[in-house]
Amino acid sequence: MTAEPSDAEVLDRFPAVRLDHVNKQFYKGLLHRELLVGRCAECGRRHTPLRPLCPSCWSARVGPVPVSGRGTVYLLTFLHQGPPCDGVDYAGGFPLAGVELAEQPGLRMEATVVDCPRDQLRVGLDVELTWIDRDGAPWPAFRPARTPS
Amino acid sequence: MTARNPAKDKIAIAGVGLSPYARDRGATTELAILLEAAVAAIRDAGLTAADVDGVVGGGLLTGGIDPATVVSALGLPAVTWWARAVPPIMNHLTAASNAVWTGACEVALVYHSVYRVGGFSRSAAADPFRRRATFGLPDGRAATGDGHTDAEPWSMHGSAGYAAWAGRYLAEFGATREDLGRIAVSDRSYAAANPNAVLREPLTMNAYLAGRMIREPLCLYDMDIPVDGADAFIVTTAERARDLRQPPVLIHAATMGMTAPPEEHLAASLDATGQPLAARDLRAKSDLWLDDIDLFFPYDGFTIVALRCFESYGFCGAGEAGAFLADNWDAAANRITIKGRVPVNPHGGSLSEGGSQGAGHVREAVTQLRGQAGGRQVPGAQVALLTPGGFFFNAQGLVLRAG
């Protein structure tokens, strides 16, 4: 396991994010390419984004856990314009998906989808986690699942 | 949720004021626009600065103008209640109505302004003063809380979320872009009779379908048109309103709806969002419903919101809105008229008049219920149903009746 990044490092690597003392754990995970969600030690339910209380049972015994990265495209749009960003090409429609993670119904992440021909990208597609670069830091993305789920 | 509605018909909208909408009002300020509407509303009611003892308002894109600024700029001598409100407009109107009902104030000035800023509009970004007026983080991303720290193209907060749910709606029900297009085409047909509408040229279905794609499946014509402008309202007791200059319009029932999780990408389904909750709650509070209304104002910041309103409010079942619109289509006028009788967004809605977070819908409803809508007046209009706001963290509902 990689050493946990320091507060100073996560602040330095994500200068434009409104980091706080809870969500910093998510962003530290990104730095070593680990996608984290909240999990409640009392009821076992998972949640995103990280919360100080479990939204299901209000237990404070919540903390970040990694997910498998397997999921299904639940929501999907293609952005044909938007703010200029390195590595983002709006020309053919930049995909932005809400991916329902395999761990739990309704547990979703929003991310782009890569390595997928446009005509195969649709709601219901099985996907898996991969990583891209956003402003010099690792950022989660999804690609078509390479093995059946 | 409760059916309690002790203020039913006890609170009135007694004045309206408009600062006309335009694609670009140029070198002016949000405060200047807002004050024009506020003064117009106070005068419309036949009141003066000394009569206004409550102030509530706010806009979205700049973070809005603070009530203290309005009190200062209008020189209001004695204010006993104020609040800052985040749009849509029912946040403002509910706060004002409650304040009047409880006696926190007697006459509330309600204001809502839209002022195009740099992160929102390319033309506005050319004005260095408007760039500086942007609310949120310097790159334009939202600053509205933990779940919403990111923005396009990485997050579904706002417009992209509506596009994604529109895509899911089309996929789930086999609906088509034509179904969405009927909302846009109808709005534009109605807008032709509204001098305040910034888009008044007819829109054909073919032109809609050829519209530049912005956030697929939503094109240019599926999203409200950015404007500069403001609306203001005077809210007071029905009793007081009857002594004022204008025919009172009564707040019969009002509601807001939000369900967890309200983030766009986390909402469990369209059935589980705030919009159907607002519909159920409004139904429980209102004596007047779909068969009683003379005017319907589904919020249309995005076509998908208005389309889904027909289902959430019970005009038809889930996935049936496209067929409902086709069945209620007035081919000669190229617009929706429910059962050949009830117009839908007779001012052209946010898509054609200009995006104003439901404030324009309320102004038009009041104008119609007073019988003052001129060439687009619906004869004898007595009851209006409005659904300001979207699906997620801002769904709202309102029934107004002529006093």
Q: Mark whether A54 and A13 lie in a shared domain.
A: yes
- Average pLDDT, integer, range A60-89: 95
Q: Mark whether A113 and A97 lie in a shared domain.
A: yes
Contact A85 B260 (CB under 8 A): no
Instruction: Report the pLDDT value the prediction gives residue B120, as an integer from 0 to 100.
Output: 67
Residues from chain A contacting residue B147 (CB–CB below 8 Å): 49
CA-based nearest distance B264→chain A, Å: 9
Q: Mark whether A97 and A56 lie in a shared domain.
A: no
Structure tokens that stand for B365 in this block: 């409803």
Instruction: Report the pLDDT value the prediction gives residue A148, as an integer from 0 to 100.
Output: 60
DSSP class of residue B212? Answer: P
Residue A3 in this model has a pLDDT that exceeds 80: no
**Helix orientation angle between B274-285 and B303-312, rounded to the nearest 10 degrees:** 50
Residue B272 in this model has a pLDDT that exceeds 50: yes
C-alpha span between B154 and A141 (Å, rounded): 10
Q: Is A1 within a domain?
A: no
Contact B156 A80 (CB under 8 A): no
Number of separate helices (H) and strands (E) present in chain A? 2, 8
- Average pLDDT, integer, range B189-216: 98
Instruction: Report the pLDDT value the prediction gives residue B148, as an integer from 0 to 100.
Output: 53
- Average pLDDT, integer, range B52-60: 95
Residue A147 in this model has a pLDDT that exceeds 80: no
Q: What is the ipTM of this complex?
A: 0.92
C-alpha span between B198 and A68 (Å, rounded): 50
Contact B151 A94 (CB under 8 A): no
Is the minimum CB–CB distance between A89 and chain B shorter than 8 Å? no
- Contact at 8 Å (CB) between A65 and A84? no
Q: What percent of chain A has pLDDT over 90?
A: 85
The residue with tokens 């334009």 is: B140
Single-letter amino acid code for the residue at B372: Q
Contact B139 A76 (CB under 8 A): no
CA-based nearest distance A29→chain B, Å: 17
Is the minimum CB–CB distance between A74 and chain B shorter than 8 Å? yes
pLDDT band at B147 (very low <50, low <70, confident <90, very high): very low
B160: nearest CB among A20, A79, A123: A79
Q: Mark whether A48 and A75 lie in a shared domain.
A: no
pLDDT band at A149 (very low <50, low <70, confident <90, very high): low
Is the minimum CB–CB distance between A14 and chain B shorter than 8 Å? no
Among chain A residues, the shortest Cα distance to B150 is held by: A17
Q: Is A128 within a domain?
A: yes
Instruction: Report the pLDDT value the prediction gives residue B150, as an integer from 0 to 100.
Output: 78
Q: Mark whether A59 and A41 lie in a shared domain.
A: yes
Residues from chain B contacting residue A139 (CB–CB below 8 Å): 154
Instruction: Report the pLDDT value the prediction gives residue B158, as an integer from 0 to 100.
Output: 87
Q: Mark whether A41 and A19 lie in a shared domain.
A: yes
Please write the tens of the pLDDT for every residue from B293-309: 999 999 999 999 999 99
Strands B107-114 and B54-57: parallel
pLDDT band at B132 (very low <50, low <70, confident <90, very high): confident
Q: Mark whether A92 and A116 lie in a shared domain.
A: yes
Instruction: Report the pLDDT value the prediction gives residue B137, as an integer from 0 to 100.
Output: 54
Q: Is A47 within a domain?
A: yes
Structural domain total, chain A: 2
- Average pLDDT, integer, range B373-391: 97
Please write the tens of the pLDDT for every residue from B166-177: 999 999 999 999
Residues from chain B contacting residue A134 (CB–CB below 8 Å): 154
Contact A83 B151 (CB under 8 A): yes
Instruction: Report the pLDDT value the prediction gives residue B118, as an integer from 0 to 100.
Output: 73
Residue B145 in this model has a pLDDT that exceeds 70: no
Q: Is A24 within a domain?
A: yes
Contact B216 A108 (CB under 8 A): no
- Average pLDDT, integer, range B72-85: 97
Domain end point (choices A40, A66, A92): A66
B164: nearest CB among A16, A76, A85: A76
- Average pLDDT, integer, range B87-96: 97
Q: Mark whether A81 and A131 lie in a shared domain.
A: yes
Q: Mark whether A39 and A91 lie in a shared domain.
A: no
**Helix orientation angle between B159-173 and B303-312, rounded to the nearest 10 degrees:** 50
Contact B216 A98 (CB under 8 A): no
Instruction: Report the pLDDT value the prediction gives residue B92, as an integer from 0 to 100.
Output: 98
Residue A1 in this model has a pLDDT that exceeds 60: no
Instruction: Report the pLDDT value the prediction gives residue B146, as an integer from 0 to 100.
Output: 46
Domain that holds residue A127: 70-144
pLDDT band at B23 (very low <50, low <70, confident <90, very high): very high
Domain end point (choices A66, A86, A111): A66
Q: Mark whether A24 and A47 lie in a shared domain.
A: yes
**The dihedral of CA A81, A87, A89, A93: what is its sign?**
negative
B46-B49-B52 Cα angle (round to 5): 85
Among A10-14, B88-92, B119-123, B377-381, the minimum mean pLDDT is found in B119-123
Q: By three-state DSSP, how is residue B92 classified? A: helix
Residue B240 in this model has a pLDDT that exceeds 80: yes
Residues from chain A contacting residue B213 (CB–CB below 8 Å): 78, 80, 93
C-alpha span between B215 and A79 (Å, rounded): 5
Residue B143 in this model has a pLDDT that exceeds 70: no
Q: How many residues does chain A have?
A: 149
Mean residue pLDDT across chain A: 94
Q: Mark whether A76 and A53 lie in a shared domain.
A: no
Mean residue pLDDT across chain B: 94
Contact B167 A77 (CB under 8 A): yes
- Average pLDDT, integer, range B240-253: 98
Please write the tens of the pLDDT for every residue from A5-62: 999 999 999 887 878 899 999 999 999 999 999 999 999 999 999 999 999 999 999 9
Q: Mark whether A135 and A90 lie in a shared domain.
A: yes
Residue B324 in this model has a pLDDT that exceeds 50: yes
Contact A108 B266 (CB under 8 A): yes
Please write the tens of the pLDDT for every residue from A98-109: 999 999 999 999
Q: Is A53 within a domain?
A: yes
Instruction: Report the pLDDT value the prediction gives residue B140, as an integer from 0 to 100.
Output: 46
Residues from chain B contacting residue A124 (CB–CB below 8 Å): 171
